[in-house]
Amino acid sequence: MKIGFIGLGIMGRPMAKNLVKAGHELVVFDFNKEAVADLVSCGAKAAESGKEVASQVEVVITMVPNSPHVRAAVLGKDGVAEGAKPGLVLIDMSSIDPTESKKIGEECAKYGIEMLDAPVSGGEPKAIDGTLSVMVGGKKDLFDKYYDMLMVMAGSVVYVGDLGSGNVAKLANQMVVAINIAAVAEALTFAKKAGTDPELVYKAIRGGLAGSTVMDAKAPMMLEGNYKPGFRIELHIKDLNNALNAAHAISSPAPLTAQMMEVMQFLRAEGCDKEDHSSIVKYYEKISGTSVVKENK
């Protein structure tokens, strides 16, 4: 399959590489020339714009930070729409406001472009090993057509409904992840403050009902004091902002999500916005006056 890929960041670059490894022919574009060169070295073809990408392929994947970036990449100057032939399919794998997904889809339809929203979860490690969770909204026949291609990048690809539903699922995921990381951080800080080794507490509880994928991914990072970004605080702030806006628009209360937004705003003010969201533990360390980092680190 000849695929266009726009957005070669922390997530997009390894996702695109997995498509190339699977034998797909890729045409790629990003403002980061080093990232483009990396993909070209793997066998992809470089393009100078989204317009140039769209003119050469049957399907375009976008993987960019937020709603305005998707709109610019697709509908802006030299964007996908300018180079699209009728029948082009856009698969937006960015995490954006579901209302904006629907609006972009409506505007794409004027150019004969069909659209799926297919945001991902799993962070950089799962993007690298091709085991992301993908949540897809749009026409079911389009989902069926591109399912196998999406599975190249994923361990799970699930259809969740009409266009925009993928991002509803992703925002729900991000709400749960943020609250779960905070629960782990709070519990480990409590253990340390109580004079018990937080690493041993983690090992004791991870196999029980409290155990989770989040706990196993983030507790070791907290204990090591390792905040190398797999998913940055600033991106989680973006997702929670979209989640709160979407929740408020339909009068769906989200008090825990709102609290997590305030915690992350504290971390942004502390200069931690480029760090992994495991650094949520720093909030608890600050207010408790202790640290969960292993002493023999």
Positions annotated as catalytic residues are 170
296: exposed, middle or buried (Cβ count in 10 Å: 0-12, 13-18, 19+): exposed
Give the other-Cβ count within 10 Å of 294's Cβ: 14
Q: Which structure tokens are listed for 13?
A: 């670059």
Task: Tell me the three state secondary structure of residue 145.
Answer: helix
Pick the closest to residue 76 from 33, 108, 102 (CA basis): 108
Instruction: List the beta bridge partners of residue 59.
Output: 3, 89
Q: How far apart are CA 195 and CA 6, in angstroms?
A: 50
Tokens 């950089």 appear where? 124
Q: How far apart are CA 80 and CA 17, in angstroms?
A: 21
Angle at 167 between CA 162 and CA 173, to 5 degrees: 125
Residue 48 CA from chain centroid, whole number: 25
| Residue 124, phi-psi category: left (phi > 0), alpha (psi -120 to 50), beta (remainder) | alpha
